[in-house]
Amino acid sequence: MLEKKKILPVLVTNGRKLSNINFFRKIVNAGISDITISLKAFDAVSYDKFLPGAGEKVFSEIKTAVQNAKIIGVGVNISVTLFRETINSIDNLKNILMELNPNSISIDMGNPIVDQNGVKAIDLLNPIELAKTVEKIHLKLKDTDLNYSFYLTIPLCLIDNGVLNDLFERGRVLTTCHVAKGSGLVFTHDGHVILCNHFTSKPIGQFGVDFSNVQELHGFWVTEQMEKLRSCCSCYPHNKCKECDMWDKCGGGCFLKWFHWNPEEFIR
Ligand code: SF4
Ligand code: SF4
């Protein structure tokens, strides 16, 4: 049905189940060939912190999953999110990426999460720490054959100019997000619309209440209320941004960061 509607399903997974090549084949045969494996740690010992006692097994399953992708002949993207632990694991990150050698690698900045209890930024690096980590990772990876890119949701002015220019020249950067532009819709499993997956418990609309079909969804998406919400999400975090010629590329970084950190202390 999805194929007929030209909707392409994408699988984002921890990769463990894909270590079973028969299961992997079934998924591919069912039409899912856009696969991202999210890497939570860069060695077995670090995986042990997430799943005590299972680090070796999990790490080996991920390696097998990537091998299976190569045997089956589908591409796989490895996704890495930068957390506090990453600062001391950059060599391990490089080693595992070289070993896996996936088709592509996306490196995301950890951003805060909003839930019923407020804003959570557990183990996240602050925007300056993220900028320095990006610089270090790029210096480690730039002379390899790895196909990596950074999704820079931090103020671009925090990154060393030479490194930033090099990243853009090599096409290794994605910036800004769909939220302020209204260019993407995110649904939860129970039909709620959320701004992005960092707002799972803060729905902004609901199927059956705010809309029940495509036309109504479109009408809901362009209401004054939605436009105002998007406009709030695209506010300048700092006076300097108003005059900055990088605003369109940068957007001041993920606006969620400024729920937790004070932009005055970071944007220069
Ligand atoms: S738009 Fe703002 S945050 Fe982005 S580079 Fe310019 S001054 Fe920095
Ligand atoms: S607001 Fe945008 S940049 Fe921030 S977490 Fe959500 S999608 Fe990512």
Length of the chain: 268
Taking the centre of ligand 1 as the mean of its atom positions, its distance from the CA of residue 253, in whole angstroms, is 8
Strand-strand pairing, 118-120 and 113-115: antiparallel
Which ligand neighbours the alpha carbon of 108 most closely? 2
Q: What is the pLDDT of residue 73?
A: 95
Assess whether pLDDT exceeds 80 at residue 4. Answer: no
Q: What is the pLDDT of residue 98?
A: 97
| pLDDT tens track for 180-216 | 999 988 999 999 999 999 988 889 999 999 999 999 9
Query: Sorting pLDDT into bands at 50, 70 and 90, what band is 61?
Result: very high
Taking the centre of ligand 1 as the mean of its atom positions, its distance from the CA of residue 165, in whole angstroms, is 15
Mean pLDDT of 37-46: 90
Cβ burial of 145 (10 Å; 0-12, 13-18, 19+) is: exposed
How are strands ordered across the β-sheet holding 192-194? 186-187, 192-194, 205-206
Mean pLDDT of 142-165: 97
Which residues are within 8 A (CB) of 82 and not within 5 positions of it... i.e. 6 or more apart? 107, 108, 109, 110, 125, 130, 133, 134
Q: Nearest residue CA, atom 7 of ligand 1? A: 241
Contact (Cβ atoms closer than 8 angstroms) between residue 68 and residue 19: yes
Assess whether pLDDT exceeds 80 at residue 5. Answer: no
Query: Sorting pLDDT into bands at 50, 70 and 90, what band is 268?
Result: confident
Whole-number Å distance between alpha carbons of 189 and 128 = 35
Mean pLDDT of 38-50: 88
Mean pLDDT of 166-193: 94
Whole-number Å distance between alpha carbons of 29 and 22 = 10
| pLDDT tens track for 74-133 | 999 999 999 998 999 999 999 999 999 999 999 999 999 998 889 999 999 999 999 999
Whole-number Å distance between alpha carbons of 127 and 124 = 9
Assess whether pLDDT exceeds 80 at residue 6. Answer: no
Whole-number Å distance between alpha carbons of 3 and 9 = 9
Whole-number Å distance between alpha carbons of 178 and 170 = 23
Residue 193 lies in a domain: no
> Does the CB atom of residue 176 touch ligand 2 within 6 A?
no
Mean pLDDT of 148-152: 98
Q: What is the pLDDT of residue 54?
A: 87
Query: Sorting pLDDT into bands at 50, 70 and 90, what band is 52?
Result: confident
Mean pLDDT of 251-266: 96
Taking the centre of ligand 1 as the mean of its atom positions, its distance from the CA of residue 112, in whole angstroms, is 19
* pTM score: 0.92
Burial 29-61 (b: 16+ CB within 10 A, else e): eeebbebbbbbbbbbeebbbeeeeeebeebbeb
Whole-number Å distance between alpha carbons of 81 and 171 = 19
Taking the centre of ligand 2 as the mean of its atom positions, its distance from the CA of residue 127, in whole angstroms, is 14
Residue 59 lies in a domain: no
CA of 236, closest atom in ligand 1: 2
Q: Residue 68: what residue type?
A: N
Q: What is the pLDDT of residue 40?
A: 87
Residue 147 lies in a domain: yes
What does the block give as tokens for 114? 């909003």
Host domain of residue 84? 75-179+246-265
Taking the centre of ligand 2 as the mean of its atom positions, its distance from the CA of residue 85, in whole angstroms, is 21
Which ligand neighbours the alpha carbon of 113 most closely? 2
Residue 229 lies in a domain: no
Residue 150 lies in a domain: yes
3-class DSSP state of 151: strand
CA of 199, closest atom in ligand 2: 6
How many structural domains comprise the chain? Answer: 1
Contact (Cβ atoms closer than 8 angstroms) between residue 13 and residue 40: no
Q: What is the pLDDT of residue 2?
A: 64
Query: Sorting pLDDT into bands at 50, 70 and 90, what band is 166?
Result: very high
* Pocket around ligand 1 at a 6 A CB cut-off: 155-157, 238, 240-241, 244, 246-247, 250, 252, 267
Assess whether pLDDT exceeds 90 at residue 1. Answer: no
Q: What is the mean pLDDT of the chain?
A: 94
Whole-number Å distance between alpha carbons of 257 and 263 = 9
